[in-house]
Structure 1
Amino acid sequence: MSVEDLKISSLYSVEGKVAVVTGGGSGIGTMIASAYVQNGVRVYIASRKEKQLKKVADALNKIGQGSCHYIVADVSTKAGCDALANAIKEKESKIHILVNNSGAVWAAQYSDVPESEGWDHVMDLNVKGLFYLTVALTPLLEKDSTKLDPASVINISSVASLIAVTQVSAPAADNYGLWSYHTSKAAVNHLTAQLAVTLAKKNIHVNAIIPGLFPSKMTAFAFSMKGANVGKGLPTGRAGSAQDMAGLALFLASPASAYITGACIPIDGGSTIRVAKFKASM
């Protein structure tokens, strides 16, 4: 009988691919960009903050095997998404991976959520921008993609999309909540499924990563307050690391995940099953 090539070096290889990572200048975006660069991918990171982008790109370019480049962009508007896509098109004729990671959060009291910053900006960046950038880069994702090695769109959601607890745990934040953030991330999950159905025929697969507690700007307060104890209340007893995020991001960008699309995959140390168990016991 013939033996298929099931070696890790084939199934999980991303070497030579081209990736775009929005919000790549910090947090989870930088973790994913680093994983790709270290495994031979040419990565374009994008956000509004050039100084931050340059710092990350310079650091990643020192580690090889791939390379990191940056583009200053605002993906909260269709025009900004189109401008970023056009900048990519000037440099590349094909991309293999799009990571929609840029996001915003806004905390406020229930009776005092500002419309523009509290709802419009959060939904624009977290949902609308994700859609329009994917649309704008679809031609580059579709080109030369195959059923066994499809292009990959990876949307970064949050465990906030799966739970209804909105209260903020921080000083001077009594009765503050994240209504728009939780709602926007639930929308990301559903949009992921819609895009997966729409783009499958183009050999573009769309999945979402649902992170729990990872170091980022949004979780900086928790990490600063709890230090080494952060994440100890989770079933796994710790917070997520760059290695954890890299493993999933590499899998979803490699041929190993070629039969997966429309999936929303929690990477949360068991936090969602803990909440589900708690609710079931009430």
Structure 2
Amino acid sequence: MKTALITGATSGIGKSCAHLFAQQGYQLVLVARREDKLNEIARHLADKYAIEVKTLIADVRNNAVLTAVLEGLPQQWKQIDVLINNAGLSQGLDPIDKGDTTDWDTMIDTNVKGLLYVTKIVSGWMISAKKGHIINIGSIAGKEVYPNGNVYCATKHAVDALNKGMRMDLLPHGIKVTAINPGMVETEFSVVRFKGDEDKAKKVYEGLEPLLAQDIADAIWFAVSRPAHVNINDMLIMPAAQASATLVNRK
């Protein structure tokens, strides 16, 4: 049985990936901060799909805790076939001179350093096994910059660069690396960006049909399910109503 490790597994894209990979018969290692939600999802998936699920309560920003919980896994759970680096967020939407440095630290520590902390450990396990597939969740913000997106866009440009660098470094070990870059996806993303302001978050998607988390999970599964000799390097996925980071057709 194959195993997938998913970060940020309690909502949005991470949660949809957990459901889809469980449906495909994978056993799961789910990493997230919210213990109640994580345990609820794990119980549901284990019961529905008759798979095994390990839950790890950790914030990817905390390298010491993250390392302890990952290294504390039993040996058989370190045979990770697919790593989905999904944990990520945006905080605030301010011009550079008015940005909140705490928001900057949160985005850099989660989107860049957290991804690195997880990848360092799990890629080591994959190198030992001489196989594996790493999926990095980027963004249209990693392909182009938009007004007031400054630091968030910078973190996703970093993910884009790291995706390329990982593919080079892990090439000799037979490990695939794929970037999945969504445009507008309606998840908790905008609620987090606007710090719980649900009305403001809803306005982001007014007048258009955004992507759903399931759409991105489907794209990830497509990349993972290719034959052994095929790697999807990079995929940019937008709703039909979106042509660029800022150009949207609202009805």
Q: Same fold (TM over 0.5)?
A: yes
In the aligned structure 2, how far is the partner of 1:90 from the partner of 1:253?
Answer: 23
Deviates more, 1:101-110 or 1:45-54: 101-110
The answer on 1:216 being equivalent to 2:187 is yes
Which of 92, 98, 104 does residue 112 from structure 1 map onto? 98
Which of 128, 133, 157 does residue 152 from structure 1 map onto? 133
Report the Cα offset of residue 108 of structure 1.
4.7
Compared CA separation, residues 251 and 119, structure 1 to 2 (3 A):
same
Compared CA separation, residues 207 and 80, structure 1 to 2 (3 A):
farther
The aligned residue for residue 244 of structure 2 is 275
| Aligned residue type for 1:48 | R
Compared CA separation, residues 222 and 197, structure 1 to 2 (3 A):
farther
In the aligned structure 2, how far is the partner of 1:231 from the partner of 1:65?
Answer: 40
The answer on 1:29 being equivalent to 2:11 is no
Report the Cα offset of residue 91 of structure 1.
5.2
In the aligned structure 2, how far is the partner of 1:133 from the partner of 1:277?
Answer: 31
Report the Cα offset of residue 151 of structure 1.
0.9
The answer on 1:67 being equivalent to 2:52 is yes
Q: Deviations over 1:43-73 (max 9, x none)?
A: 1111111112112112222320533331101
| Aligned residue type for 1:154 | I
Q: 5 Å matches for 1:1-282?
A: 16-90=1-75, 92-110=77-95, 111-115=97-101, 117-145=102-130, 150-166=131-147, 177-220=148-191, 221=198, 225=202, 230=206, 232=208, 238-256=209-227, 258-260=229-231, 263-270=233-240, 274-275=243-244
CA contact (8 A) 1:46 1:70 kept: yes
In the aligned structure 2, how far is the partner of 1:231 from the partner of 1:260?
Answer: 36
| Aligned residue type for 2:222 | F
Q: Deviations over 1:185-230 (max 9, x none)?
A: 1110110000010011111111111112223111354797469x75
CA contact (8 A) 1:230 1:239 kept: no
CA contact (8 A) 2:29 2:55 kept: yes
Q: Deviations over 1:105-124 (max 9, x none)?
A: 11153222222x22222111
Query: Which secondary structure state, in structure 1, belongs to the residue aligned with residue 54 of structure 2?
Result: strand
User: How many residue pairs align between the two structures?
Assistant: 240
Compared CA separation, residues 246 and 118, structure 1 to 2 (3 A):
closer
Compared CA separation, residues 267 and 108, structure 1 to 2 (3 A):
closer
Compared CA separation, residues 224 and 125, structure 1 to 2 (3 A):
closer
Q: Deviations over 1:243-266 (max 9, x none)?
A: 4223222122234364216x2211
In the aligned structure 2, how far is the partner of 1:63 from the partner of 1:137?
Answer: 27
| Aligned residue type for 2:65 | G
Structure 1 or 2, whichever has the larger Rg, is 1
Compared CA separation, residues 89 and 120, structure 1 to 2 (3 A):
farther
CA contact (8 A) 1:39 1:65 kept: no
In the aligned structure 2, how far is the partner of 1:114 from the partner of 1:223?
Answer: 19
CA contact (8 A) 1:157 1:211 kept: yes
Ranges in structure 2 where 5+ consecutive residues have no aligned partner: 192-197
Compared CA separation, residues 84 and 136, structure 1 to 2 (3 A):
same
Ranges in structure 1 where 5+ consecutive residues have no aligned partner: 1-15, 167-176, 233-237
Percent of aligned pairs with the same amino acid: 26
Deviates more, 1:123-132 or 1:84-93: 84-93
The aligned residue for residue 11 of structure 1 is none
Compared CA separation, residues 226 and 119, structure 1 to 2 (3 A):
closer
Q: TM-score w.r.t. structure 2 length?
A: 0.84
Q: TM-score w.r.t. structure 1 length?
A: 0.75
